[in-house]
Structure 1
Amino acid sequence: MNGYGEAELRAAAEAGIRAPSMHNSQPWQFRLRDGAIEVLADPARQLGVADWSGWAARLACGAATYNARLALAVHGRPAEVSLRPDSGEPNVIARLTPGRERPPTYAEQDLHAAIPRRHSNRAPFWPDPVPADARVRLIEAARIESAWLDLLVGMTALAGFAEIAGSADRVLRRDDRYQAELISWTHADHAADGVPVTAGAPRAEPQDLLPQRSFGDRRRAPGRDYEPEPLIAVLGVSGDRPIDQITAGQALQRVLLTATDAGLSASMISQPIEVPTARDQLRRSLGRTGFPQLTLRIGYGTPRSATPRRAVADVLLADERTGLRSPGT
């Protein structure tokens, strides 16, 4: 079977760069090697303070891998995926090799169409509850990708989560290096990465249940409080090795695209995962033997505009074994 070519590489990369990443750092690269498309972590874009272990970069690259899979599938050339295929090249996150050619499924088409519409929405959501059928779809999306998604139900569970998340947020706010790094990825112009101040959450107020990262000093509009009973989802996997975190990233993106396809908005709350004691508290509160990898806030909200992305040409790598340049570089 013929390998992938430059057209498939570009399609995979164009979809891959639309994945979410902490502070919109975009820590991914793409390469064509021996007919396979590889997704690589970019060490230069790993956050030195907030992501010292590389967990967030692997989660983001896993999400980018899922988008690339969808792009190849809708072109009729679905991929077989190997995660961390080379022990000697730990930055190679995934290798996508051509599988059996077939038409895309309706689900693949719908999720692929949701890629450009998926944006983190840090603004207050409407109070409308997420219906049961949508909740089932989100749980199933995680399960298909070998992950689990727990939806917190009832104010007791929400209050417990809010205490854990708020405590973690206070720990991170006391870290001057952490805050300086956050500020360095916040901008008011049209930079190709980082978070525009307009995309950040409005300034926190005492009545807020959950912590929100501040990417600016914008006040909320009158009467636009956060929803009193948000739908909180905890995404996790059975292990906590690098390969498990990549698996969680793929599941995360499938959940986010499923939410988008259902007309829902979502934002990510990573503070309870970034602080080890908070993460352990969260795991024990769920009664889970696995490891939480990210928490999400899901609901109905006013559509937001996309955060910027670097050009595809900037994330394509040459294959150093052949000296061939990837297209656009």
Structure 2
Amino acid sequence: MTVPDLSLLTAEDLEVLLAAATAAPSIHNTQPWRFHADPVTRSIEVHRAPQRALPLTDPACRAQYLSVGAAVFNLRLAADRLGRRPVVRLLPRPDQPALLAGVRLIERPYPRERWGPALYQAIARRHSSRMPFTGRPVPGPVVAELTRAARVEGAWLRVPAFAGIQRVLRLTAAGESRNVADSGRAAESRTWVTPPGAGAYGIPVTALGPRDLAGRIPLRDFAAARRTRRAPALRFERHTQLAVLCTAHDRRVDWLRAGQALQHALLVATAHGVRTSMLHQAMEWPDLRHALRGTQQRRCCPQLLIRFGYGPEGGWTPRAPAELSTGGPLGRPGGTDGPPRGEAGSPSLAAEPGPPVIARVTEPPDHRIP
């Protein structure tokens, strides 16, 4: 069998890679990533974007690391689609703390990952649904597949029983109450709520979803000062299905692994027609996050809560066109260090059958990475 020459990476390949990466979920849709192509190592570097941090909601930047980890997982899937084997190094340069991951793309003259095509196709369909679910339980084999997906990435999903779910929801409600009462945090969250079509960052009001009429599910009230724009309250599912994403340790590298585990599980859910949304409020308060550890003997550092079930899609959130810097050390790629919002015209993921080519590269179309 003749092995094709995969030693060159075209600009079109880069667009596929970055379009997939930027489709990853991020807290408040801040999209806290920057990309750099290293022609020496033939890798895509993923850097944290400090200007898109949430100093009150996420002071340790833990949620930022989860978001970047999710983008890294999408890069891996896109590399597999291009016939490359992605080799990931997390925190590769201690002297560059903003460099969180390097994804080297090497020739791979053997079959693609068995899960790659299905999960790659799920990238464009995956998004958070803040709508009520039907209450129909997700079958045990599907839940088991979600837990396996997280375990492959070095994390695990703890699926509580009914009493545990009620406890988790109470802790989440306590975190939400504190966030609403904290004027600084509430204002910080509101800055990331945008009118429809206003920009490529943040969450459009149309994607917020309604409040729970029964008050069982404590959804984040992003628009506390804009209640007139909120959809009427609806009754959510009586029996909520939740999973706690955990890691054994709580280091920066564990946050990045948790982000990859999160995205792997979310895409498996999407491939099975299961809707998901994330609950983060309890993670934002150290005492509540500690209480989520539970009483298990196994060490558990909670990273995120995932609500899952069957129901409507919910609203779509936009993505900013990614810009890629190439050549020497990463500087300030044009457009990525601007204000959090205000870049209009970014296409939505909703209209595309696969990850849309929304990336913009800084080199001419015939550019190659040797």
**Shorter-chain TM-score: what band?**
over 0.9
Percentage of pairs with the same residue:
35
Superposed CA offset, 1:72-126 (max 9, x none): 0011102111001000111111111124413323411000000000010011111
What's the counterpart of residue 231 of structure 2? 219
Write the distance in 2 (CA, Å) between the matches of 1:85 and 1:4: 22
Write the distance in 2 (CA, Å) between the matches of 1:170 and 1:274: 12
What's the counterpart of residue 131 of structure 1? 139
Write the distance in 2 (CA, Å) between the matches of 1:297 and 1:114: 18
What's the counterpart of residue 21 of structure 1? 26
What's the counterpart of residue 303 of structure 1? 313
Aligned partner of 1:203: which letter? R
Write the distance in 2 (CA, Å) between the matches of 1:317 and 1:212: 38
Aligned partner of 1:257: which letter? L
What's the counterpart of residue 61 of structure 2? 54
Question: Any idea what SS the aligned residue of 2:307 has?
Answer: strand
Write the distance in 2 (CA, Å) between the matches of 1:52 and 1:239: 18
Which of residues 269, 278, 285 in structure 2 aligns to 1:275? 285
Which of residues 94, 99, 116 in structure 1 aligns to 2:101? 94
Alignment of 1:3-82 (within 5 A): 4=9, 6-33=11-38, 34=40, 35-82=42-89
Q: Residues 165 and 328 of structure 1: is their aligned pair in 2 closer, same or farther, counting only changes over 3 Å?
A: same
Tell me the CA shift for residue 3 of structure 1.
Answer: 6.6
Write the distance in 2 (CA, Å) between the matches of 1:48 and 1:275: 13
Aligned partner of 1:202: which letter? P
Superposed CA offset, 1:138-185 (max 9, x none): 01110111111011222x112211221111111222211100011110
What's the counterpart of residue 151 of structure 2? 143
Aligned partner of 2:165: which letter? L
Write the distance in 2 (CA, Å) between the matches of 1:110 and 1:261: 7
Superposed CA offset, 1:242-284 (max 9, x none): 1110000000000000000010000000011111100110103
Aligned partner of 1:227: which letter? E
Tell me the CA shift for residue 301 of structure 1.
Answer: 1.1
8 Å CA contact 2:209, 2:315 repeated in 1: no
What's the counterpart of residue 117 of structure 2? 109
Question: Any idea what SS the aligned residue of 2:283 has?
Answer: helix
TM-score where L is the length of structure 1: 0.92
RCO (CA 8 Å, sep 6+): is it higher in 1 or 2? 2
Question: Any idea what SS the aligned residue of 2:115 has?
Answer: helix
Which of residues 155, 162, 184 in structure 1 aligns to 2:169? 162
Structure 1's unaligned 5+ residue stretches are none
RMSD: 2.1
Correspondence 1:232 to 2:242: yes
What's the counterpart of residue 265 of structure 1? 275
8 Å CA contact 1:5, 1:32 repeated in 2: no
Tell me the CA shift for residue 230 of structure 1.
Answer: 0.8
Write the distance in 1 (CA, Å) between the matches of 2:203 and 2:314: 13
Aligned partner of 1:52: which letter? P
Question: Any idea what SS the aligned residue of 2:72 has?
Answer: helix
TM-score where L is the length of structure 2: 0.82
What's the counterpart of residue 7 of structure 2? 2
Write the distance in 2 (CA, Å) between the matches of 1:322 and 1:297: 37
Write the distance in 1 (CA, Å) between the matches of 2:95 and 2:152: 30
Question: Any idea what SS the aligned residue of 2:216 has?
Answer: coil
Bigger mean CA deviation after superposition, 286-295 or 57-66: 286-295
Flag the structure with higher helix content.
1
Write the distance in 1 (CA, Å) between the matches of 2:79 and 2:71: 12
What's the counterpart of residue 193 of structure 1? 201
Tell me the CA shift for residue 328 of structure 1.
Answer: 3.5
Question: Any idea what SS the aligned residue of 2:265 has?
Answer: helix
Bigger mean CA deviation after superposition, 32-41 or 58-67: 32-41
Question: Any idea what SS the aligned residue of 1:81 has?
Answer: strand
Write the distance in 2 (CA, Å) between the matches of 1:6 and 1:322: 18
Q: Residues 72 and 186 of structure 1: is their aligned pair in 2 closer, same or farther, counting only changes over 3 Å?
A: same
Question: Any idea what SS the aligned residue of 1:117 has?
Answer: coil
Question: Any idea what SS the aligned residue of 1:283 has?
Answer: coil
8 Å CA contact 2:28, 2:192 repeated in 1: yes
Write the distance in 2 (CA, Å) between the matches of 1:276 and 1:86: 29
Write the distance in 1 (CA, Å) between the matches of 2:161 and 2:330: 54
Correspondence 1:291 to 2:291: no
Superposed CA offset, 1:43-88 (max 9, x none): 1111122111111111000000000000000111021110010001
Structure 2's unaligned 5+ residue stretches are 1-5, 334-359, 364-370
Correspondence 1:328 to 2:333: no
8 Å CA contact 2:209, 2:314 repeated in 1: no
